[in-house]
Amino acid sequence: MIKVRSAEKRGRTQLDWLDSFHTFSFSSYYHPDENGFSELLVINEDHVIPGGGFATHSHRDMEIVTYVLDGALEHKDSMGNTSIIQPGDTQRMSAGKGVTHSEYNASNSEPVHFLQVWIKPNQPGITPGYEQKHVPCEEKQGKLRLIASPKGNHNSVVIHQDVNLYAAVLNHSDSIEYPLPSGRKFYLHVCRGSININNKPLSAGDGARITDEKILLISNDAETESEFLLFDLP
């Protein structure tokens, strides 16, 4: 079964420096049927103006994955990490027993567009941790590229949960056929462009819960490039 969550049905937070879309219930946005999926709790699509950003704030007991689509995001945290996250980078911060951090647009002239994902960890109170790795676009072209996993396989960042996160980029006429193991749940989020999954059309910002399917057929019939994330969940 594939249940589509269309982009226009997402929650939204608009501030003078931020335009944020919420796939699942988040902050002041609440939807009784959209409180995460398996261990996946948050997918926020954020647009931040030049120089704007999230001032220092705290998290605990959460695996936070940041995936930049356009622009650059500056990160600083209480563990002493300072970094710039750019397209192709995957950043994982394990909040564990407690961490503070800030996130600002690294540019004073260009906006930054990114996804932030929250996943429930497999145990509370772990030591906070940080990791960031770059995956060239060609490694995601026309195929699923593992970018986060429990054991850090294929040079992915390590996530403290039984979740595998893949990214892919499809050009016109590209397609992927992915067998789905039984007993797992899957969530697909379209970052940009448009795709078809098992003959269901999805566009940028759309998501899909996928359960009890044996195979996933993903294709791009449009003239423009598309990009998506696929979550393999317990």
How many Å apart are CA 13 and CA 18, to the nearest integer?
8
Q: pLDDT (tens digit, 9 = 90+) per residue, 27-71?
A: 999 999 999 999 999 999 999 999 999 999 999 999 999 999 999
Residues 1, 200 contacting (CB under 8 angstroms): no
The structure tokens 């990009």 sit at: 227
Output the pTM of the full model: 0.97
Cα distances from 61 to residues 23, 92, 127, 174, in angstroms, run 20, 13, 10, 38
The structure tokens 């990114």 sit at: 114
Angle at 168 between CA 162 and CA 171, to 5 degrees: 165
How many Å apart are CA 151 and CA 165, to the nearest integer?
12
Domains of the chain in start order, with CATH, are: 2-233 (2.60.120.10)
Region 193-216 average pLDDT = 97
Region 99-108 average pLDDT = 97
pLDDT at residue 213, as a whole number = 96
How many Å apart are CA 12 and CA 10, to the nearest integer?
7
Residues 60, 120 contacting (CB under 8 angstroms): no
